Structure 1
Amino acid sequence: MTPLARIIARRIRATGPISLADYMETCLLHPRHGYYATRDPFGKAGDFTTAPEISQIFGELCGLALTQAWQDQGSPSPFTLAEPGPGRGTLMADMLRAMRAAPGMAEAARVALIEASPHLRGVQRDRLGSVTHLDRVEDLPHKPLFLMANEFFDALPIRQFQRVEAGWAERMVGLGPDGLRLGLGAAIDLPRAGRPGDIIEDRPAAASIMAVIAGRIAAHGGAAIIVDYGGWNGFGDSFQALRGHEPVDPLTSPGEADLTAHVDFAPLAVAAMAAGAVVSRPVHQGEWLMALGAGARARRLAEAGDEGAMAALRRLTHAEEMGHLFKAMAVWPRGAPPVPGFDPLRRDADNARDSDPSFA
């Protein structure tokens, strides 16, 4: 057992099985043994590689999309340029470089990073210099907000429920003869249809976080771009762990593997609309990047000597790589032009969750 596995086992013996949400939060954020508290998980030497680490193309185009949104809204100054879960700071660095092409934008930006890991905060300061670190999105200033969230929501803890004859039973982490194992709690009523054996996932913090982001944007202006892997109103067990770029059992090595689950974009859209903002129809990452000029940018980089530019373009945009698994969604204020590459989701908050945006 890992040190964190022993801590979790003692807790279960004392108080009973815990939810997957509790398990994920402990594994990722335990102050001494948590995954993000103890390591730099990114890149070839880590456990996974995110889009900004694959190529500068991703961050540059995200930055240019936010730049256009800033200009379309009258270039407010000052404004908050925020990123939750900013990793090594690679994405923010690439966005800031692209934004410097717009006169006055970089100078007007007040960079705010929402980061829970003391270790990663140090890595971000080394790369970006003087930045403001916040503990929660609720700490964002009440001013124009331009925000980029890449692979942030997937790491938020989930709860899982499995359909049984009497209703839905929550999947819990308990103890078996060989260590941690999944089991079922008592049956409860949930307003979801399903057949016995079906599994649904709920991410308790996601909607409230989106509501804060969208509320700032609705009230003060700005835009947010959300990129993550997932879908719309999905069923199924997407809880997973990565270690050394390979899938592993999520219960085997608590604190030593990354834990994630697919993002359900439907409740995010509902929360954004309820907060008074406009939300886009989610689109495939690959289609969005290509619409913004990823192909032309890759060719220019290749002509300048970047031998990996075209391979990186394929990995970011091809349907069999990250292009379809990852989706992008944007939020902007009512009355403002759409964020580049996005169209409004023309549904209200009351029926958006049950409507399929049809990822074509």
Structure 2
Amino acid sequence: MPASSPVEREVRARIDRYGPLPFDDVIELALYDPDHGFYTSGGLAGRRGDFITSPEVGPLFGAVVAEALDRWWEELGRPDPFVVVDAGAGVGTLAIAVRAASPRCGASLTYVLVERSAALRARHGDHLELTVPQLALPPAGRAAVGACGEGRFEPVFISLAELPAVGIEGVVIANELLDNLPFKLLERGRDRWAEVRVGVDPQGRLVEVLIPAEPRLARLGERFAPEAPVGARIPLQLAASRWLREALTLVERGRVVVLDYASDTPSLARRSQDSWLRTFRGHQRGGPPLERLGSQDVTCEVAVDQLAQVHPPEVVRDQAAFLRAHDIDELVEEGRRTWHQRAHIGDLAALRARSRVREAEALLDPTGLGGFQVLEWKRPP
């Protein structure tokens, strides 16, 4: 048997007991196994991590999100508390940037960092003063939470392993979360859809195994990709749809905002699997998804049409358009002015202002982060 990781050994043990495993079960273990999954054993975003997301480019993204939060807070009539749920918060980079931007809604803001990885969640308190969730979330309200003595003028931050269990007025924002949720994998056969599962070959290697898709999965394949050619593959993102359904239920007034690289199922069916199912490790493309389980990230483009079966989004635009709608150009121009005023000093404020231009270039790049999709669901619709 080839050398293997702890996750691979666990997968083999389950295959020995249950037979070939569904692809989403294997991805769940590879990313989120409590002891050896990628995100529980050191995998993370950032320049010192494995990949870069928009918040890790620099604080500009968080400043634009803060502008958006202020606008949404005003639209809701300035609720207090105004609850923002940062789903898939990682180590808290976006939360830190939002706080640094000093949004107008700050005195009403309860910011909930949701991160299922205990290792990443443990870092939330490194740069944020965390509050006990029971004191900060409705229905307890604001009166008991004075972050600045009598009365409160700073946002309240809390850290959870999953979405809150109480309804909120505010926003659920998920930046590059849904592409990391496990997904099933189907392949179009000559007469029927097949499900891609994971088995073990005679040499002990993990390999793909095709079995006839159960009727429910076959119907979904036909619904989402009726013209798929023989041999085409598609993801079934049932976990992402469940997450969206839960998020929409959570928000009583406000919106759910998803930012991710996205497409639709028919487009995915026309492309090679390697173009939409990708792995990353140390800022490099990784190997095949069944190799080095637990030591590389596994991501899948988000199929917007599958999410729309839960509820069609009210707004769909690319990230560049979203950022421009929430004043990124004004923030960059402000940075240019500050740089020209303070360049001769060369202090931290000047350097931060200068960096805004470079950050904006990365965030607006249509071939990169700027081409990501931003989906918004308003509640009530």
State TM-score, norm by structure 1. 0.84
The question of 1:52 aligning with 2:55 is answered yes
The question of 1:271 aligning with 2:278 is answered no
Structure 2 residue aligned with 1:133: 159
Could you tell me which of 151, 154, 170 is aligned with 2:195?
A: 170
The question of 1:301 aligning with 2:335 is answered yes
Cα deviation code 1:96-121 (max 9, x no counterpart): 333x341xx22322222221111111
What letter matches 1:254 in structure 2?
L
Could you tell me which of 228, 246, 250 is aligned with 2:260?
A: 228
Residue 40 of structure 1 deviates from its aligned partner by: 4.7
Distance 2:206 2:51 in 1: 24
Rg comparison, structure with higher value: 2
Structure 2 residue aligned with 1:151: 176
Q: Which runs of 5+ in 1 are unaligned?
A: 274-278, 336-360
Structure 2 residue aligned with 1:246: 284
Residue 175 of structure 1 deviates from its aligned partner by: 1.6
Residue 68 of structure 1 deviates from its aligned partner by: 0.6
Could you tell me which of 327, 332, 349 is aligned with 2:373?
A: 327
What letter matches 1:159 in structure 2?
K
What is the Cα-based RMSD across aligned positions, in Å? 2.0
What letter matches 2:182 in structure 1?
P
Residue 187 of structure 1 deviates from its aligned partner by: 4.3
Residues 145 and 251 of structure 1, relative CA distance in 2, 3 Å threshold: same
Q: Is the 8 A contact 1:64 1:95 kept in 2?
A: no
Matches of residues 1-360 of structure 1 in structure 2 within 5 Å? 1-98=4-101, 100-102=102-104, 105-130=105-130, 131-137=157-163, 139-176=164-201, 177=203, 179-188=205-214, 189-190=218-219, 191-192=222-223, 193=226, 194-217=228-251, 220-233=252-265, 234-236=267-269, 237=273, 238-249=276-287, 250-272=289-311, 279-302=313-336, 303=339, 304-306=350-352, 307-324=354-371, 326-334=372-380
Distance 1:167 1:119 in 2: 42
What letter matches 2:329 in structure 1?
G
Cα deviation code 1:192-233 (max 9, x no counterpart): 31221111111112222212222333xx31222210011233
Residue 73 of structure 1 deviates from its aligned partner by: 1.3
Classify the secondary structure of the residue corresponding to 2:268: coil
Cα deviation code 1:258-286 (max 9, x no counterpart): 1110111223233245xxxxx32321112
Q: Is the 8 A contact 2:237 2:306 kept in 1?
A: no
State TM-score, norm by structure 2. 0.79
Classify the secondary structure of the residue corresponding to 1:319: coil
Q: Which runs of 5+ in 2 are unaligned?
A: 131-156, 340-349
Q: How many percent of aligned residue pairs carry the same amino acid?
A: 26
Residues 267 and 63 of structure 1, relative CA distance in 2, 3 Å threshold: farther
What letter matches 1:332 in structure 2?
K
